[in-house]
Structure 1
């Protein structure tokens, strides 16, 4: 019996011969190739749009862009360049039919030359009244208020003060802060509540605004003025309660007020120019005569 070799060699490979290499090469070349890229240049399968169609699409895109640009950026301010028909003063077209003009200011107008500004009371369109910002929220005092408020009375303007309301601050706190900031005297216009900011809870905001208005009315014994934009008033404050307050409407670059309800003041532009004020300023008109404006002011003791 033949003996088995002590070590069994498994999977031992022989060195490939030239014949075996030729055989493998031949079989590989004869087998089908998968995902083989065709030789030569790639053919373009997509079709190009005709040149005339590209011109039409480009023109339509330009028309849409220019129309949108005009609607959102030019149209709202086109009134600035409208002919004034002889009623141009203070750098703008004045609303037709109003004889009592005024303005409103804050620290944004910088230092005011009141001697120069007082000349606006003796023009063909005399400026009679001024509102100025006194406070904002529960702790912000306008830095120019005390000086400007005194100068306005000294130079013969009918003056008023407004509070910029912050929906995130307690209404009573804001009312008390305004009371501490503003000492109104007989002949001054009623205090003004300036509301421009929305709230996540508009029902709560309306209740808070009434808290401020009633607190101020009880202290100064005169009904406050409500200032806001035409859209804000129409959308959020157009009800039987808020309609009882004198309304000061902000509505720019239009020939006339679109609001259908009663109003007392109209802030018709924010780009006016007045002597003694270097910066642009808001201009207003009063919806009535000078005597009616004076009747709105805080009466002297015993004349209520």
Structure 2
């Protein structure tokens, strides 16, 4: 028979109460059991990207062991629920034809969401997020750190983040077998939050309360989705390994390497229903042009050229390539992550060229993996060198490039990254680019030696020019990732990253 530890037995006791009283909202149960405000945890899942974040108070992640314990605790709960479901003790009921929303939010911590320019405020206390791996307090201090959930962890969490939870009374027999000794009746927060005693002394389900809680969860999901689109942070849509983020701030005075051009125009978005993700609306200070339904054709020499960047997370994007791409001129394809090949690289790499688009590649750089090995692996993915007909290679360096726990010394991080860039240039025959955002670039790339490498800047704001780290204040940027919520007209509503190049088509590969 399966063994149960004391924590699992406590969870079983709460499930027995659910079996006695009646079905409740699955996310409400999960929230009260693990993601309560008192526990200092919250959960946001992104079904389209197949990943999510478990947010915990920084004090819970003081050491690497503490971070592992947090993951183990969540996995223990999810695996217990999965086992109980497989054995027929519990079930989750989803509405017929129910399609998961772009965001699934579980917990009490993020309960009053509102957009504020380049950030999303998550609750009445003023906690907000500019980067999905971290939540800051109203005073700018770290309020929650995020533990990324992928693979099986994400799949398990997704099953219990929506729908209605049903529990069988057979749980009483199971509990009687596994409980070591008689215990006092548990005080079970999940059930108390959704059920109450009837006036006659009997126990009944307050169905209206349960329905209201579920309705509030749905509204929270939709609100967060709108907020993400407005604020330009990565809380929804398809993503790369590690969220690409851009820091807020005023528009800098920065030189652009290519000819200047007016950038006071809408992003090229395809407008869908209210439930669809679209690009952020222009800031109030900028002029508001008439909306457009497709990308402006890229033939005008003075205007920006538009491009996408894709990885295995973009699903069947290649199958949608045939037909109009509405002015898309170039596509960046993820080749590798650390020492792991992107499973879709060969397919994407071939399809981009065969469809007449200029192609570029990038490697997601990992701080905790040998820099020379990463450069060699990336070059092998490219066939040993970078084709002069392609855009120069790029190293993707961002917050998710760092492992959990205390980061290495800045001097080591900079030296290793420079070594990887130099190896790419020496052996690949091209000066590589650096992809980063203002926050990471300002903190970690403040050495002037990085300035010789062209900048691919991520800034999802509605500024007329991106905010640049000081290292590139004079050189300017080469490519600008303007949003992660572009909807190609033939992409089945899968949000993608949209990039700008200010210049002529012939200069893309220079």
Per the shorter chain, which TM-score range?
A: 0.5 to 0.7
Tell me if structure 1 keeps the 8 A contact 2:306–2:498: yes
Q: 2:287 aligned with 1:86, yes or no? A: no
Q: 2:371 aligned with 1:156, yes or no? A: no
Q: Deviations over 1:70-118 (max 9, x none)?
A: 7877573498244851254559xxxxx8421101000111012456455
The count of residues paired between Structure 1 and Structure 2 equals 226
Distance in 2 between the 1:235 and 1:117 partners? 42
Distance in 2 between the 1:71 and 1:172 partners? 34
Residue of structure 2 in register with 1:132 after alignment? 333
Q: What is the SS of the residue equivalent to 2:332?
A: strand
In structure 2, do the counterparts of structure 1 residues 267 and 153 end up closer, same or farther at CA, with 3 Å as the change threshold?
same
TM-score, reference length from structure 1: 0.66
Residue of structure 2 in register with 1:228 after alignment? 436
Residue of structure 1 in register with 2:499 after alignment? 284
Pick the aligned partner of 2:126 from 68, 86, 94. 68
Distance in 1 between the 2:393 and 2:427 partners? 11
Distance in 2 between the 1:284 and 1:89 partners? 17
Distance in 2 between the 1:228 and 1:142 partners? 20
Distance in 2 between the 1:101 and 1:289 partners? 11
Q: 2:310 aligned with 1:105, yes or no? A: yes
Distance in 2 between the 1:287 and 1:99 partners? 4
In structure 2, do the counterparts of structure 1 residues 81 and 263 end up closer, same or farther at CA, with 3 Å as the change threshold?
closer
Deviates more, 1:195-204 or 1:144-153: 195-204
Tell me if structure 2 keeps the 8 A contact 1:106–1:142: yes
Residue of structure 1 in register with 2:377 after alignment? 177
Q: What is the SS of the residue equivalent to 1:68?
A: coil
Which structure 2 residue ranges, 5 or more long, are not aligned?
1-120, 131-223, 234-278, 296-301
Higher relative contact order (CA 8 A, sep 6+): 1
Q: 2:396 aligned with 1:194, yes or no? A: yes
Q: Deviations over 1:142-193 (max 9, x none)?
A: 1110011001011111101111011111111111111111134331111110
User: Could you tell me how far 1:255 is from its partner in structure 2?
Assistant: 2.1
Q: What does 1:36-55 correspond to in 2, within 5 Å?
A: none
Q: Deviations over 1:185-206 (max 9, x none)?
A: 3311111100113433221011
User: Could you tell me how far 1:275 is from its partner in structure 2?
Assistant: 3.7
TM-score, reference length from structure 2: 0.41
Q: What is the SS of the residue equivalent to 1:152?
A: helix
Which structure 1 residue ranges, 5 or more long, are not aligned?
1-63, 92-96, 297-304
Tell me if structure 1 keeps the 8 A contact 2:232–2:483: no
User: Could you tell me how far 1:245 is from its partner in structure 2?
Assistant: 0.5
Tell me if structure 2 keeps the 8 A contact 1:247–1:263: yes
Residue of structure 2 in register with 1:213 after alignment? 421
In structure 2, do the counterparts of structure 1 residues 179 and 141 end up closer, same or farther at CA, with 3 Å as the change threshold?
same
Distance in 2 between the 1:143 and 1:71 partners? 31
Larger of the two Rg values belongs to structure: 1
User: Could you tell me how far 1:228 is from its partner in structure 2?
Assistant: 0.6
In structure 2, do the counterparts of structure 1 residues 88 and 235 end up closer, same or farther at CA, with 3 Å as the change threshold?
farther
User: Could you tell me how far 1:235 is from its partner in structure 2?
Assistant: 2.1
Q: Cα RMSD between the aligned structures?
A: 3.1
Residue of structure 1 in register with 2:324 after alignment? 119
Distance in 2 between the 1:189 and 1:202 partners? 29
Residue of structure 2 in register with 1:258 after alignment? 467
User: Could you tell me how far 1:293 is from its partner in structure 2?
Assistant: 1.8
Distance in 2 between the 1:131 and 1:210 partners? 22
